[in-house]
Amino acid sequence: MSMENAAWHSLWRMSGDKGKAYADTTPRRVLSFAASYKNRLLVFVLFSVFSAVLAVITPVLAGRVVDAIVAQTGVQVVLKLAGIIAIVAVADAVVSLVVRWYSSRLGEGIIFDLRTAVFDHVQKMPVAFFTRTRTGALVSRLNNDVIGAQSAFAGTLSGLVSNTVALLLTAGVMFSTSWQVTALALVLLPIFLLPARHFGKSIALLRRESADLNASMGTQMTERFSAPGATLIKLFGRPAEESAQFGLRAGRVRDIGVKMAMRQFFFVAMLTLVAALALALVYGLGGVYAMRGELAAGDVVVLGMLLTRLYAPLTALANARVEITSALVSFDRVFEILDLEPLIHDAPDARVLDAGPVSVKFTNVSFAYPSAEKVSLASLEDVSVLDTRGGETVLHGIDFEIPAGSTVALVGSSGAGKSTIASLLARLYDVDSGSVQLAGVDIRKLKLDSLRSTVSMVTQDGHLFHETIGSNLRLAKPEASDAEIWQALERARLEPTISALPDGLDTVVGERGYRLSGGERQRMTIARLLLAAPQVVILDEATAALDSANEAAVQAALAEALENRTALVIAHRLSTIRSADLILVIEDGRVAERGTHAELMAVRGRYAELHDTQFAQ
Ligand X SMILES: Nc1ncnc2c1ncn2[C@@H]1O[C@H](COP(=O)(O)OP(=O)(O)O)[C@@H](O)[C@H]1O
Instruction: Point out which residues bind Mg ion (CB under 5 A).
Output: 419
Closer of 439 and 458 to Mg ion (Cβ):
458
* DSSP H/E element including 401: strand 393-402
Of the ranges 2-10, 35-43, 417-425, 448-456, which one interacts with ligand X (CB under 6 A)?
417-425
Could you say which of Mg ion, ligand X, none residue 279 binds, taking C-beta under 5 to 8 angstroms by partner kind?
none
Q: Is 576 in the site for ligand X (CB under 6 A)?
A: no
Could you say which of ligand X, Mg ion, none residue 415 binds, taking C-beta under 5 to 8 angstroms by partner kind?
ligand X
Q: How far is CA 188 from CA 173, 273, 319, 510, in A?
A: 19, 10, 18, 64
110: three-class secondary structure by DSSP: helix
Closer of 73 and 364 to ligand X (Cβ):
364
Least Cβ distance, residue 423 to ligand X (angstroms):
8
Least Cβ distance, residue 155 to ligand X (angstroms):
43
Closer of 114 and 567 to Mg ion (Cβ):
567
Q: Are 200 and 87 in contact (CB under 8 A)?
A: no
- Which parts of 348-377 interact with ligand X (CB under 6 A)? 369
Closer of 164 and 413 to Mg ion (Cβ):
413
Residues sharing a CB contact under 8 Å with residue 250, sequence separation 6 or more, in sequence order = 217
Of the ranges 336-344, 410-418, 483-491, 546-554, which one interacts with ligand X (CB under 6 A)?
410-418
Least Cβ distance, residue 507 to ligand X (angstroms):
33
Least Cβ distance, residue 271 to ligand X (angstroms):
55
Of the ranges 38-46, 57-65, 357-365, 409-417, which one interacts with ligand X (CB under 6 A)?
409-417
Could you say which of Mg ion, ligand X, none residue 557 binds, taking C-beta under 5 to 8 angstroms by partner kind?
none
Q: Are 378 and 336 in contact (CB under 8 A)?
A: no
Q: By C-alpha distance, which of 408, 400, 402, 399 is closest to 439?
A: 402
DSSP, residue by residue, 113-132 = HHHHHHHHHHHHS-HHHHHH
Q: Are 410 and 570 in contact (CB under 8 A)?
A: yes
Could you say which of Mg ion, ligand X, none residue 394 binds, taking C-beta under 5 to 8 angstroms by partner kind?
ligand X
Least Cβ distance, residue 589 to ligand X (angstroms):
7
Within 10 angstroms of residue 100's Cβ, the number of other Cβ atoms is 12
In the list 118, 186, 416, 536, the residue contacting ligand X (rule: CB under 6 A) is 416
Least Cβ distance, residue 28 to ligand X (angstroms):
36
Task: Give the integer Cα–Cα distance in Å for 308 and 299.
Answer: 14
Which residue has the closest beta carbon to ligand X?
A: 419
Least Cβ distance, residue 249 to Mg ion (angstroms):
35
Task: Give the integer Cα–Cα distance in Å for 32 and 22.
Answer: 17
Least Cβ distance, residue 390 to ligand X (angstroms):
6
Three-state SS for 64-98 is HHHHHHHHCCCHHHHHHHHHHHHHHHHHHHHHHHH
Q: By C-alpha distance, which of 398, 410, 425 is closest to 589?
A: 398
Q: By C-alpha distance, which of 367, 373, 464 is closest to 425?
A: 367
Closer of 415 and 510 to ligand X (Cβ):
415
568 CB-side CA count, 13 A = 28
Q: Is 573 in the site for ligand X (CB under 6 A)?
A: no
Reported in sequence order, the residue ranges of 423-515 that DSSP labels E, i.e. its strands, are 433-438, 441-442, 455-458
Least Cβ distance, residue 125 to ligand X (angstroms):
14
In the list 415, 547, 602, 612, the residue contacting ligand X (rule: CB under 6 A) is 415
Q: Is 388 in the site for ligand X (CB under 6 A)?
A: no
Q: By C-alpha distance, which of 207, 195, 222 is closest to 149?
A: 207
Q: Is 131 in the site for ligand X (CB under 6 A)?
A: yes
Least Cβ distance, residue 130 to Mg ion (angstroms):
17
* DSSP H/E element including 200: helix 196-224
In the list 10, 158, 420, 450, the residue contacting ligand X (rule: CB under 6 A) is 420
In the list 32, 72, 388, 414, the residue contacting ligand X (rule: CB under 6 A) is 414
- Main-chain dihedrals φ then ψ at residue 37, nearest 5 degrees: -110, 20
- Main-chain dihedrals φ then ψ at residue 593, nearest 5 degrees: -145, 155
Could you say which of ligand X, Mg ion, none residue 214 binds, taking C-beta under 5 to 8 angstroms by partner kind?
none
Of the ranges 311-319, 418-426, 553-561, 576-584, which one interacts with ligand X (CB under 6 A)?
418-426
Least Cβ distance, residue 416 to ligand X (angstroms):
4
Which residue has the closest beta carbon to Mg ion?
A: 419
Task: Give the integer Cα–Cα distance in Å for 19 and 153.
Answer: 25
In the list 394, 544, 553, 601, the residue contacting ligand X (rule: CB under 6 A) is 394
**Binding interface with ligand X (CB under 6 A):** 131, 369, 390, 394, 412, 414-420
